[in-house]
Amino acid sequence: MAKRGTATEHKIGNWEAMKICRRGAFWSMFISLSIIMRAYDIEIMGNFYALPAFQQRFGIFYKGHGYQIPAAWQVAMSMGSLVGQIIGAFIVSYPMEIYGRKKTFAVCLILTAILTFMQFFASTIGVLTASQYLSGVVWGGYCVIATTYASEVLPLSLRGFLTGYINLCYVMGQFIQTGVTRAFINRFDQWAYRIPFALQWIWPAVLLCGLPFAPESPWWLIRQNKLESAEQALERLSEPDERINTRETLAMMVQTDILEHEIEVGTTYADCWKGDNRRRMEICILLFVIQNFSGNPVGFATYLFEQVGLSGEHAFDVGVGLNGMGFVGTLCSAIPLIYFGRRSCYIFGLSTVVTILFIVAFICLAKDYSTNQNYAWAQATLLIALQFIWQMTLGPLTYVVVCETPSTKLRSKTIALATVIDAITGLATSVVGPYLLNPGAANAGAKIEFLYGGISVFSLIWCIFRLPETKGRTYEELDILFERKAPARKFKAYVIEDADDIVPGV
């Protein structure tokens, strides 16, 4: 029978382990605050498309619809952050492996503070668009750094909760931005959009002040043969307790690194596509693809609500409600993380999302749809329910599984490549979305959910056959399961018979 968990977890319960390892939890949550900043930055343009002051300053007047940002510029600005993210996610793994997680993170924070000046003082839509491309490079770095760091400083008992917390940071960033923009909807001067831009300086200031006190990733230190520094980092990541033996934990981590050497886990991007790492790469990539094509309208929710018939104020109010419900859903995600597996919860969540998407889309076919605003409210309510389910299952579980699936040596590069694909598929939805929604283009409104519903059906089929269960498995157990090509549906019950194959990991 396979051994499970770390040495600490064999001796104490999850709640006590949580208290003992709360330093690691704190620093994981601290670094992940950068995701709030990233979500705020990305959400800002989607909300500004429906902000009257921004529309009048940078938009064009359309008869019957008032000032609108042209679809071409919407696409250009939306592409900016995602194209930049592709570049940033790809290149950030190199300084992460050479200089460490902390130093790379500090450089990203400084660049964010500098580029915010460009957004704040932008006088033309072209300059604003350019700032989105440049900022996107840094945002791509945050995705990789935060996810990698969280997975490397947390024990098994907390891994699911606090990697899922990354998704909560996205929700909080979106919620904060929507609320900030809503506060300025009745203001028509330049400060209606410049103040929200200026608020972006808060996060770099806070994070740069606390970063010198954060420990470096012990996994990175081990790969640099800095074992003494790795032990010191482990001591800083856990509360002093007689049941914690950092030397024993360090030995386990070194053993996992040795095992990956034995099964020929490399350290280049090409190695991510070799052997059993190809399957790991497929899982990480497809989970992000499913997220982007699941029809959750959070990135353009306010604009969508406006196009289906709600007034500007009502659209923002519902947008705030949608993000608030997402926040509650993410908090509730702890329940399935505790009591159910990753695989079953993900499949349940995606099945529910598919159902809601088709209901929203078919409502558009009602005979009096264009004249009866009750349909618009019904669609908005259903999309809020979708957001709750999505954030309770698909949202956090994607980050949990993506953190757990890669080998420890290839984690930063696997996450980087998955983030690149995340950006590319997000780019596709950002290009298609404005043209489908904009009155000057297809003007499809909520009918776009027919497209996303159909794609999500295929996503559901893939999950049934290819998504493995990673709950309760150490990194070394996962190495062995992938090496043995265990079928996805058998990961949960698979028994590793040879006790010599397993050394409990962290």
**66 φ, ψ (degrees, to nearest 5):** 75, -160
pLDDT of residue 448: 81
Give the contacts of 149 (CB within 8 A, at least 6 positions apart).
27, 28, 31, 32, 101, 105, 217
Give the contacts of 400 (CB within 8 A, at least 6 positions apart).
159, 160, 163, 164, 337, 342, 470
d(CA 1, CA 499): 7
pLDDT of residue 33: 83
d(CA 302, CA 320): 9
d(CA 4, CA 316): 47
Give 62's strand partners: 66
H-run or E-run covering 118: helix 101-120
Give 67's strand partners: 61
pLDDT of residue 350: 95
Burial of 377 (0-12, 13-18, 19+ CB in 10 A): middle
- For the record, the structure tokens of 312 come out as 């500007």
H-run or E-run covering 60: strand 60-62
Decide: helix, strand or coil at residue 61: strand
Helices (H), 121-245: 125-153, 156-183, 191-198, 202-210, 218-223, 227-237
**485 φ, ψ (degrees, to nearest 5):** 55, 45
Determine the distance from the C-alpha atom of residue 96 to the mean position of all C-alpha atoms in its chain, rounded to a whole number. Answer: 19
pLDDT of residue 438: 61
Tens-level pLDDT at each residue, the chain (506 residues): 334 444 334 333 343 444 445 677 788 788 888 888 877 887 787 778 778 888 888 888 877 667 778 877 887 887 777 788 888 888 888 899 889 999 999 999 999 999 999 989 888 888 888 988 898 899 888 888 888 887 788 766 666 666 677 777 877 887 788 788 878 888 888 888 899 899 989 989 999 999 999 888 888 888 888 888 888 888 887 766 555 567 777 777 777 777 766 665 567 888 889 888 899 999 999 999 998 888 776 556 666 676 666 766 777 777 777 778 888 888 888 788 778 889 999 999 999 999 999 998 898 888 887 778 788 788 888 888 988 999 899 988 998 898 889 887 788 889 888 888 887 887 777 777 766 766 555 666 678 888 889 999 999 999 999 999 988 887 778 888 998 889 988 888 888 765 444 444 33
d(CA 370, CA 260): 60
> Taking the CA of residue 17 as centre, how many other CA atoms within 13 Å lie in the half-sphere pointing to its CB?
18
Read off the pTM: 0.69
pLDDT of residue 427: 75
Among all chains, which residue has been given the structure tokens 């549906």? 489
For the domain covering 22-267+278-496, report its CATH number.
Answer: 1.20.1250.20
For helices 394-404 and 156-183, the axis angle rounded to 10 degrees is 140
Contact call for residues 420 and 84 (beta carbons, < 8 A): no
